[in-house]
Amino acid sequence: MPAFELRVLDGADCVGGNKIAVSSGGDAVLLDFGINLKRKRDYLLGYRALTVANTLYYYLYSGILPRIRGIYRDDLVGLDERVGEILEKGEPVEVSMCIFSHAHRDHYGASGFLSDKIMMAMSRSMRTIMEAMLESSAASGIEAEIFEVRNRIEERREPRERSIAIFEEYSSIPSAPFHVTPCPIDHSIPAAFSFVIEDLSLAYTGDIRRHGALKSLTDRFVERAAGVEYLIIEGTRIDSSIMVREDEVIQDIRRYLEDKVGKLACIIVSPADVDRVRSIIQLSEELGRIPVLCPRAAHLIDRLAESGTKIPLPDLRGAGIYFERRSLTGGGYDLESQHYRGWLRKMYADRLDGRKPGALVKAEEISKKQGDYLLILGGLDQVLELAQVRPRPGSGLVVSTSEPHDEEQEIEWARFERWVNLLRLDLRIAHSSGHADRETLIEIINEIRPRVLIPVHTESPQEFQRLAEAGEISCEVLLPSPAKLLRLAK
């Protein structure tokens, strides 16, 4: 096995923002290039940071992006001489490919800044999810240029497609400088992967769990990775032994909603968590309610269906699609209005024309027959839609997403709770994490049996050292940092 170098450029002591450079023999790949959402929230101040001319400078200056030479777009570096001055002091890394583990922004969201000479590697379904979620999100400017780049120095600025390598599960990634095998695993979004780099005896978990519908995929990855010398493992929940299975979440929601006869039922869930959305739709039908999906969830399902994905998708033939009231004309539902973005207009028009399954359902229709519906919303901010429905007092609201874990999210949660109280809703939490708990992480480590363990995506990396000292895991633990180059060899 050849010697290689490992740089954890971000994600060493925080949850998210994974950016890992693996170099050997003059070749290098990046494993993920996500946006560090917490650091971005900590430093972003108003519109100036979002102007194209300043974005890369601000992000490098504040540490939102790592100060590494050779990986960023020439046009963005050329826009501002200060960027060049910052990068001159950084280490050079010549990367030929960036390999993504899944379609959560904290793993791919900063890749719009990467040089267009760097090939992007992902699965076909992962690409579809990224495209659909970008289309329906507020992402704009450089952060939205994942698949197409607009050269900011050229006068015409016509978009140019990036080079994309589509990989298949358990098959070596084409054009990669190393033998990298993608292994599908269990996470809170479909098309999530771990990787085994055979020629370097290295495995990377990405985000992983073992308590969801796809547990068997994680088991297969663990078998495939067994015996590697080096394991880069996520540790989001290394400080918690609480484990709630995905099927337990649905059971809890069922018991709760069975008592809401005649009242509105609503569940807030990530639109990208397709497995949970599918389970909630099935539950809704079993409870005799009509499931009504938020537009972002319906759009993602449409795009995946069009792509011919192997991912099991919800059947929308008996479901409704929530018709958001946005226009100033046509009673609020004029699709020609500029307030309906292109993806949303098309998604609604496909229902009105009968091209796609799922009938459009307005707030006033739900309001008249609240006991007939289960409304599936895509985020805390969509509690405002419930003000249009005007739910009966004591109507059921289930939050089935992760709880707030920083100050800004706690502020958002407080605003959300004010609306919950104003609307007199009966709030419950029912969630299963997309990340393995401490006991499961210990099992995975002990089954893979690496010689060296490198924790990332965690606020408690020292917990892995404590476990090694206590003899619960039998491996050396290397704690990475952005300034630390790890030289590794057999």
Q: Are residues 151 and 42 located together in one domain of the fold?
A: yes
Percentage above 90 pLDDT, the chain: 88
| pLDDT number for residue 71 | 97
Same domain, 194 and 214: yes
In sign, the C-alpha dihedral spanning 364, 361, 273, 379 is: negative
63's tokens: 């540490």
Q: Is the pLDDT of residue 287 over 80?
A: yes
Chain centroid offset of residue 179 CA = 25
For residues 441 and 18, give the distance between their C-alpha atoms in angstroms, rounded to a whole number.
Answer: 18
pLDDT at 52: 67
How many other CB atoms are there within 10 angstroms of residue 390's CB atom? Answer: 14
Look at the alpha carbons of 286, 288, 289, 291 in this order and tell me if their dihedral is positive or negative: positive
Phi first, then psi: what are they for 386, rounded to 5°?
-65, -25
Q: Which pLDDT band, with edges at 50, 70 and 90, does 154 fall under?
A: confident
Is there a single domain that holds both residue 454 and residue 424?
no
User: Strand 396-399 relative to strand 373-377: parallel, antiparallel, unpaired?
Assistant: unpaired
Residue 327: per-residue pLDDT: 95
What is the C-alpha radius of gyration for the chain, rounded to an integer number of angstroms?
23
Last residue of some domain: 384, 401, 429? 429
CA–CA separation, 431 vs 437, rounded Å?
14
Region 454-473 average pLDDT: 97
User: Which residues are paired to 69 by β-bridges?
Assistant: 92
81 and 170 inside one domain: yes
Q: Are residues 424 and 440 in the same domain?
A: no
Range 170-182 average pLDDT: 97
Q: What is the CATH number of the domain that holds 360?
A: 3.40.50.10710
DSSP 3-state of 310: coil
- Name the residue with tokens 């190393």: 178
> How far lies 475's CA from each of 51, 305, 453, in Å?
47, 44, 6
Residues 403, 442: one domain?
Answer: no
CA dihedral (219, 221, 224, 226) positive or negative? negative
Q: Which domain holds residue 98?
A: 4-240+435-488
Residues 350 and 250 in one domain: yes
Query: How many domains, in total, are found in the chain?
Result: 2
pLDDT at position 158 is: 83
- Of 392, 411, 429, the one marking the end of a domain is 429
- Together in a domain, 382 and 443: no
CATH number at 25 reads: 3.60.15.10
Cα separation, 455 vs 465, in Å, equals: 10
Taking only the tens place, the pLDDT of each residue in 307-330 is: 999 999 999 999 999 999 999 999
Cβ atoms 224, 233 nearer than 8 A: no
pTM equals 0.96
Q: Provide mean pLDDT across the span 373-397.
A: 97
Whether pLDDT at 407 is above 80: no
For residue range 119-153, what is the model confidence (pLDDT) as tens digits? Answer: 999 999 999 999 999 999 988 889 999 999 999 88
DSSP 130: H
Taking CA atoms, 200 is separated from 88, 207, 442, 479, in Å, by 30, 21, 23, 19
Q: What is the residue-averaged pLDDT of the chain?
A: 95
Residue 370: how many CB atoms within 10 A of its CB? 20
CB 397 within 8 A of CB 357: no
The reply to whether 134 and 14 lie within a common domain is: yes
Q: Are residues 91 and 229 in the same domain?
A: yes
Please tell me whether residues 163 and 257 are part of one structural domain: no
Q: What is the pLDDT of residues 201-231, one digit of tens each?
A: 999 999 999 999 999 999 999 999 999 999 9
Would you place residue 46 in the very low, low, confident or very high pLDDT band (cuts 50, 70, 90)? low
Same domain membership, residue 424 and residue 440: no
pLDDT: is 42 or 195 the higher one?
195
Per-residue pLDDT at 408: 78
The β-bridge partners of 36 are none
Alpha carbons 360 and 354: distance in angstroms, whole number: 11
- C-alpha distance from residue 309 to each of 7, 34, 124, 297, 304 (Å): 34, 24, 8, 16, 6
Exposure of 150 by Cβ count < 10 A (0-12 exposed, 13-18 middle, 19+ buried)?
middle
Q: What is the pLDDT of residue 183?
A: 98
Tokens 């795009």 sit at which residue? 303
Residue 490 has pLDDT above 60, yes or no: no
